[in-house]
Amino acid sequence: MPTSKPSIRFFHSAALRTRSLKILARIERDKDPTRHVSALSTLVVDLTETGLNYYFLKPLQEAKAGFVARQTASFSLAGALGMMSPVIRGVLSGRNAAELRVIARHIRHLM
């Protein structure tokens, strides 16, 4: 269904897309999708990292920002991701089957 809402997305590798589709399919089909929460958590962290790189680090590289600026940004994003990862894992590990399927559906919709 077409939407009139503005959106912005990012490109990622074919390998990440393949892994994403496999994990989402497992969650959608398994009677107990909670068995895949670890894989989903890792996927969400990886997608978040890829998006941060695409939206922030890549433009810095294209703008030919200086080494110090790029390194500062890179270390800062790594730190932020390091703090987000346990939160993502903790929140997802507490979700039930129905909630995990909604999350998987949302990620699939973004693809």
- Over residues 61-74, the pLDDT tens digits come to 999 999 999 999 99
> What is the reported pTM?
0.87
CA pair distance 49, 57, nearest whole angstrom: 10
* Alpha carbon distances (Å) from 110 to 7, 37, 90: 10, 19, 23
Structure-token match 């929460």, residue found: 37
CA pair distance 46, 17, nearest whole angstrom: 11
CA pair distance 28, 105, nearest whole angstrom: 8
- Over residues 35-56, the pLDDT tens digits come to 999 999 999 999 999 999 999 9
